[in-house]
Amino acid sequence: MAAASRPRASKAESFVDNKRKEDIRSANINAGRAVADAVRTSLGPKGMDKMISTASGEVIITNDGATILNKMDVLQPAAKMMVELSKSQDSAAGDGTTTVVVLAGALLRVCQSLLASGIHPTVISDALHKSCYKSVDILTAMAVPVELTDKDSLVKSASTSLNSKVVSQYSTLLAPLAVDAVLSVIDPEKPEIVDLRDIKIVKKLGGTVDDTHTVNGLVFDKKVSHAAGGPTRMENANIAVIQFQISPPKTDIEQSIVVSDYTQMDRILKEERNYILGMIKKIKATGCNVLLIQKSILRDAVTDLSLHYLAKAKIMVIKDVERDEIEFVTKTLNCLPIANIEHFRAEKLGHADLVEEASLGDGKILKITGIKDMGRTTSVLVRGSNQLVLDEAERSLHDALCVVRCLVSKRFLIAGGGAPEIELSRQLGAWAKVLHGMEGYCVKSFAEALEVIPYTLAENAGLNPIAIVTELRNKHAQGEINAGINVRKGQITNILEENVVQPLLVSTSAITLATECVRMILKIDDIVTVR
């Protein structure tokens, strides 16, 4: 009797509770979608801007997806992945940071309905992976090759990037400026690689964005040291970048020396003077007449006494050059940084025709022009009427520079305005019919998800999204590959003729990064908190 009442240990009847896994998955998906919805309204040329107020009371007005998400304080781990997603798009392509998050949000929405239909996450994930590869092939087939000599195309793509920003009315000025800046720093030996650290953006308050210009030379947002009446303008300058201090030495350990005798005090002061004079004589002997001194944290880089002697020797002094600027400065001036007075030699100096201080707005800047054997670098001086516009102009310019950099590394252009997404959606939909079983069903859903970009573009422009997207589908079905939404006219036109173009790299990296992120979120079925 006892044996009969015992439950049968049968493998078939064991019950596994899947509720928790489903809850975690849907919580993650909802968190990711919430982040995507937050930035969705700022997509496209008619997108809205976000005003971000930080804890410290600082206010930022921006349209850049990466900046918005970066400043958001996101706690949910899956939502953090969306923030990382826009960061990686920012570093990979520089533009399309909002697009990538909106795409990921749409894919997550589709995955949620597929999961609700009872499809296993791994199946969905594999189908996503295949669709992603197929999408990149379709996009590459659509792309138009571009040459770097064709400056018009480069300017068009840079201005497309700028059109969705706060400073869009200045795109006619900023786009050619970005193209010239990037083309001037390309090294002929490595034509594929552009290092944006070779382009220095200096912000100066005052004026309007119209006054932004490139400077063929170096610009510092600093004044020349006026302390002892030294020169503020120097022609035929021999420039030294030094990393040591022109001030009396300190003891290595924290200690105080008590001097009770007046003769000894005189001796100390005399020694200090001789020490500094000795250094300045060595500097003067090489023919150097402009000194750029690195900011020092250990002791004062210069003292009043050394400034006085430098002024007497007719040497111009610019102090507090930031440590991370040193590499850029030495590359531009084609000189070597000098770390010790003993290494101060004439061959380590840079040469320029003119170093002068110029008044700009309410402050002053330092310009070094006519540099001999100048390195492949360029400086852009950005102006703006207030700090918010200035910061946003810098971010927009950075995006435009990134777009040109994309075109240099992968020389293909593709239409904008939702055209590639609709074309992908159409071709993936056709491909899904060929596939068998679950896979075809999943791919079809992803094809529908891609329509979120044109839908959102139309929605943000105040058009009727359903009518616009339907018409767009119809045009593409008739074989007009480059038909897209013309937001300005509020209708469908051939978007290539309207000069709305973007680099291929922006679109392909947006799709690959978004699918990768969504696949990762799908695979998570539990969150373990470790205290």
Q: Of these residues, 62, 97, 456, 493, which one is catalytic?
A: 97
If DSSP states are collapsed to H, E and C, what string results for 112-174? HHHHHCCCCHHHHHHHHHHHHHHHHHHHHHHCEECCCCCHHHHHHHHHHHHHCCCCHHHHHHH
Residue holding tokens 């680099």? 503
Whether 98 is a known active-site residue: answer: yes
Crossing angle (nearest 10°) for helices 97-116 and 452-460 = 120
Do 51 and 59 touch, CB atoms closer than 8 A?
Answer: yes
Q: Across the chain, how many H-helices and E-strands are there?
A: 17, 17
Q: Of these residues, 95, 399, 456, 493, which one is catalytic?
A: 399
Q: Of these residues, 62, 98, 212, 456, which one is catalytic?
A: 98
Per-state percent for the chain, helix, strand, coil, to nearest 5: 50, 15, 30
CA dist., res. 401 & res. 93, Å (int): 10
Q: Of these residues, 64, 90, 198, 391, which one is catalytic?
A: 64
Listed in sequence order, the DSSP H helices in 143-286 are 151-163, 171-185, 262-285
Do 325 and 221 touch, CB atoms closer than 8 A?
Answer: no
Residue holding tokens 């997806």? 65
Q: How many CB atoms lie within 10 A of CB 63?
A: 25
Whether 529 is a known active-site residue: answer: no
Listed in sequence order, the DSSP H helices in 358-464 are 387-409, 419-434, 437-449, 452-460
The dihedrals phi and psi of 529, each to the nearest 5 degrees, come to -95, 130
The CA distances from residue 415 to 47, 340, 495, 506, in Å, are 19, 55, 6, 11
Whether 180 is a known active-site residue: answer: no
Q: What is the DSSP letter of 188?
A: T
In this structure, are strands 233-242 and 350-360 parallel, antiparallel, or unpaired?
antiparallel
In this structure, are strands 483-486 and 491-494 parallel, antiparallel, or unpaired?
antiparallel
CA dist., res. 288 & res. 274, Å (int): 20
Alpha carbon dihedral 323, 324, 326, 328, in 10-degree steps, equals -170
Question: Strand, helix or coil at 236?
Answer: strand
* Active centre residues (catalytic): 64, 97-98, 399
